[in-house]
Amino acid sequence: MPPQLVYLDYAASAPLDPEVLEVMRPYLEAAGNPSSTHAAGRFLRSAVEEARQTIADLIGAAPGEIIFTSGGTEADNHALRSAVETFSLSTILYNPTEHHAVLHTIEDLAQQGKVYAIPITIDKYGQIDLNHLEELLKAYPHSLVSVMYANNEIGTLQPVKEIAELCQRYGALYHCDTVQVMGLGWVRVDAWPVDFLAASAHKFYGPKGVGFLYRRRPIRSFITGGAQERGQRAGTENVASIVGMAFALKKAYQQKDIYLKHLSTLKAHALNLLETLLPEARINGDPTLERSHPGILNFYLPPKKADDLLLIHLDLAGVCASGTSACSSGSGHPSHVLRAIGLSPEEAVRAVRLSWGWGSEKAHLELAIQTLRQGLLSPTT
């Protein structure tokens, strides 16, 4: 990243930690295939298995319950598609503000006639209605439930413990996309009866293009080929990235308290700045620190005060931020998340998401919010 840029898009992707790169280097350079039985292969195999053990220990799982994937999207696809097939599930109860990796997969399964997909009611912050979920579970007990931990656009946290307990009570299976919270050190599957969870390394300072799926029970592979990952995900393992991901996650769990404090301090500052400099801004998602991701803030400015150039103002000032999730930006479509919590299409395209991490400072937030304020005051806009 050019040094003069202010990066406020950690929810899209965090920079690679230089220490992670160093740990990965010998495996990037190594010859061999982890499935080969000779010494070069065994060297890589033991690195993959050590990484699996590290991740399993951190999240309270058994190593055999971790399947390495090419990222969060594949982990979500794998969980949903394979769970439906393996357990002959015919109903999916889902949160309508899920990432497209989940939503488009569910839509695809429904279009193919494999499942009946029912959205769970959400409130104005995007939090699901537990009473509605329970009603649905009474009617469709043998379901797959998909509700993420933290929303990637608006940061709203879901009551994931209660959801898992409800699923357990009614015999449903629970898939949770934990991509945005894995780096916060909150996930422990021994204290949380979740059945599947998806994670992605580039959200916690690991490399892009690698992630993992936790599954409590064996599921079918949805990629056919070799017998890697105990027959549950064919394809030669991305060894260097897997090693880097495990190291990055270990660091995240070791530093979780200080990281949480850093993120929360910045969030409190961002909220103060908004109140003082942009009082007309309305926060999208849960505004409280207790029920939202500490590193994500999404807001929009009322139409008569705002224009469509907010992100361009930020970009020209050297501030990298998003209006929606990175996967959807540029599509020209208003965010499905913002639409689901009640924003009109015109409001939804005027939203700004700021998200921060280790490299962020209060001054970065000040620059972003001052820039937005100047953009709004400018006579040309």
Q: Which residues of this protein are in contact with ligand PLP, per CB under 6 A? A: 71-73, 76, 99, 101, 148, 152, 177, 179-180, 200, 211, 325, 327
Nearest distance from C-beta of residue 249 to ligand PLP, angstroms: 14
Residue 134: other Cβ atoms inside 10 A: 14
The nearer residue to ligand PLP, 151 or 371, going by C-beta atoms, is 151
**Least distance from ligand PLP to the Cβ atom of residue 90, Å:** 24
State both tokens at 111. 């279009």
Query: Distance of alpha carbon 4 from its chain centroid, rounded?
Result: 27
Active site residue 167: no
The DSSP element (H or E) to which 181 belongs, if any, is none
Of 72 and 183, the one with the shorter C-beta distance to ligand PLP is 72
Q: How far is the CB of 95 from ligand PLP (least distance, A)?
A: 11
300, 343 in Cβ contact below 8 A?
Answer: yes
Closest distance to ligand PLP from the beta carbon of 102 (Å): 7
Sign of CA dihedral 260, 261, 265, 268: positive
In 269-343, DSSP assigns E strands to 282-284, 296-300, 319-320
Taking Cα atoms as reference points, which of 175, 156, 155 lies closest to residue 164?
A: 175
Given CA atoms 288, 289, 290, 294 in this order, what sign does their dihedral have? positive
| Smallest gap from residue 2 Cβ to ligand PLP (A) | 22
Give me the least distance between CB of 117 and ligand PLP, in Å please.
18
State whether the Cα torsion 42-47-51-57 is positive or negative. positive
Selecting among 167, 176, 320, 327, the annotated active-site residue is: 327
Nearer to ligand PLP, 164 or 198 (CB): 198
Instruction: Determine whether 94 is exposed, middle or buried from the number of CB atoms within 10 Å of its CB (0-12, 13-18, 19+).
Output: buried
CB of 202 to ligand PLP, least distance (A): 6
Nearer to ligand PLP, 197 or 273 (CB): 197
State the Cα–Cα distance between residues 25 and 134, nearest whole angstrom. 49
CA distances from 13 to 58, 108, 145, 237, 246 (A): 22, 26, 27, 22, 17
Cβ atoms of residues 12 and 330 within 8 Å: no
Residue nearest to ligand PLP (CB): 72
Nearer to ligand PLP, 95 or 371 (CB): 95
Do the bridges between strand 319-320 and strand 351-355 make them parallel or antiparallel, or are there none, so unpaired? unpaired
For ligand PLP, the closer of residues 200 and 371 by Cβ is 200
The least distance separating ligand PLP from the CB of residue 171, rounded to whole angstroms, comes to 26
Q: Which is nearer to ligand PLP, 81 or 373 (CB)?
A: 81
Burial 318-345 (b: 16+ CB within 10 A, else e): ebbbbbbbeebbeeeebbbbbbbbebee
Query: Residue 121 gets which letter from DSSP?
Result: P
From first CA to last CA, the distance across the chain in angstroms is 29
Q: In angstroms, rounded to a whole number, what is the distance separating the alpha carbons of residues 33 and 11?
A: 33
Smaller CB separation from ligand PLP, 59 or 278: 59
Active site residue ranges: 327
